Amino acid sequence: MITRLVVTGFLVVATASGAPRTASGQESSDSSPGRAAARGADVPPVPLPDGPQVFTDSSGQPFRVVPIKGLRHPWALAFLPGGDVLVTEMGGQLRIIRNGVLDPRPIAGVPDVNTRVWRAGLMDVAVHPRHAENRLIYLTYSKSELINPSAPAAKQQTVVVTLARARFDGGHALTEVKDIFVSDARCHSACGSRIAFASDGTLIMTIGKPGGDDPQNPGNHGGKILRLNDDGSVPKDNPFVGKAGYRPEIYALGVRSPIGLFIHPETGEIWETEHGPMGGDEINIIKPGRNYGWPIVSYGADYSGKPTGGNGPSTTDRRRDGMEEPFYFWSPSPAVAGILVYTGDKFPNWKGNVFVGALGGGSHLGARQLHRIVLSRDGLPQRGGDYTMLYELKRRIRDVKQGPDGLLYLTVDAVEGAVLRLEPVSAK
C-alpha cells in the first residue's frame, strides 16, 4: 500500500512503504550555507502589481489575488477577533492590517530583537483563543545573548529562541510585554520558530536546529516540538514530564528546521513542515513522544552531494525503527514554508487540500510558488496530487493562513513584501 509520496525532479512519484530512493535535491534558500540574498532571492525582479490579478488553478477554477503592499520581509500573520490582521516583519516590527489596509504606523512595544545573526529576527505571532476577553498575543523572536569575545568571529553573536506574551487592545502599542519562555537553543544562524494554539488551549512551539545532534538530545530544546501552557509553564501531561534527562517542555523530537505549523480545527492534528538539507523537505503530523529522525534518518543529503556528513544526515538510513516516517516529502527541496489544510467554504474545490508555501530560488530548487496537495479519499498523498499555484508571481511564499472569512492569506517574504489575499471569482 502506498503510504507516502516523494517528489523527485518536481515530478510526483509514489513509493511503497520502505522502498529506498536516492536523495538528489539542492539546498533550500533558508536552510543552507548558500545565502538567498546572494542569488537575489530577497529582491523580486518585477514589483508586485498594485491592483488585483486573476489566476486559474489546475482544475480551471479562477481566483483573484489582492496584494496588500508596504511590508518588508513579512514573516507571519494572525487574525484578531474583529478581522484585523497582525503581521510580523523579520526586522523586528509588528504591523497591522485594518479593514484590508496596512496601517503605516508599526505597533510599539515589541521586544528587542536580534537581527545581526543570519535569518534571526521577529518570527511568529499567535492570538490567544480568548483574546476578546484577555487581549493576549504571543510572539517568537531571536533574543540576544552576551557576546563572547574569545569565540571565533562567526560565533560571537548568539541568539536564543524566545516566546513573549503581551496585551494588545487594538491600538498602536503592546503593553505588559514579558518573556514567558526562553529556550536553551543557542544559535549562530537560522533557528526558526513557529507557534500555534492546540485544541486543548496549550501552545505548540517549534524550535529549529539544522546543524549538530541537538534534535536527538532530549536534554535541550533545539530541534524539538514543545508544548506549553499559555503562561509558558509546562503542562503536567506532557509526554516526558518526570523522565530523567528530558526537558519537560518537549512534545516531540528529531526535527530539523520546522518552518510551518498548523493545528487542524476539525481533528486537532498538529501538521508541520520542515526543511531538509539538500532534498528531504517534509510534511509531518506530530504525535506526542514521537521521534522524527533528524539527523539520524533523512531523505536528504549534504550540500556537497555526499549522502552523509557536513550538513547532511549522520547515516544513510532512510528509515529506522522507533522513528517516524514523513507524511510527505520532496526531493529536490522546494524550501517549504507555511502550511494549512483548507476547511472553509469559499473555495469548495479546495476543501481538504493541503496548502504549502515555497521559498524556492536557485537553478536547482523548486519555484517560488504555492503548492496545493490533493489527498486521496483515505486522506493520504496520491500520485499526481501536488499542484502548484502562483508560479507566475515568482515570489517567496512564507506564511499560509485561512482567515475567519474563509479566504486564504499569504505573506510574500521580500524587501518589497506583501500580504496576498486570495478570493473566489465566479467562472464565466
**CA separation for the pair 272, 53 (Å, rounded):** 30
pLDDT interval class at 32 (50, 70, 90)? very low
Q: What is the DSSP letter of 291?
A: B
Binning pLDDT at 50, 70 and 90, where does residue 303 land? confident
The larger pLDDT score, comparing residue 8 to residue 239, is at: 239
Q: To 10 degrees, the CA torsion angle through 370, 376, 382, 384? A: -60
The Cβ-side half-sphere exposure at 229, using a 13 Å CA radius, reads 7
Q: Helix (H, G, I), strand (E, B), or coil: what is residue 388?
A: strand
Query: Any bridge partners for residue 102, and if so which?
Result: 97
β-sheet with 336-341: strand ranges across = 336-341, 354-358, 369-373, 386-389
Average pLDDT over residues 128-156: 84
Model confidence at 49, in pLDDT bands (50, 70, 90)?
Answer: confident
CATH assignment at residue 415: 2.120.10.30
> Tens digits of per-residue pLDDT, 52-93?
999 999 888 899 999 999 999 999 999 999 999 999 999 999
User: What does the pLDDT look like over 223-250, one tens digit per residue?
Assistant: 999 999 999 999 999 999 999 999 999 9
Overall domain count for the chain? 1
Q: 112 exposed, middle or buried (CB, 10 Å; 0-12, 13-18, 19+)?
A: exposed
- The residue segments making up the domain with residue 420 are 2-14+23-424
> Residue 29: pLDDT above 60?
no
pLDDT of residue 21: 28
Would the pLDDT of 215 be above 70?
yes
Residue 2 pLDDT greater than 80, yes or no: no
The torsion angles phi and psi of 250, rounded to 5 degrees, stand at -70, 130
344 Cβ neighbours under 8 A, 6+ residues apart: 351, 402, 406, 407
Confidence band of 10 (pLDDT split at 50, 70, 90): very low
**Model confidence pLDDT, tens digit, residues 82-131:** 999 999 999 999 999 999 999 999 999 999 998 888 778 999 999 999 99
| Closest to 400 measured CA to CA, from 344, 361, 327 | 344
User: What is the model's pLDDT at position 3?
Assistant: 43
Residues 396, 336: Cα–Cα separation, whole Å: 10
Residue by residue, DSSP assigns 12-47 as EEEEETT--------B-TTSSSS-GGGGTTTS-SSP
Q: Given pLDDT bands bounded at 50, 70 and 90, which one contains residue 365?
A: low
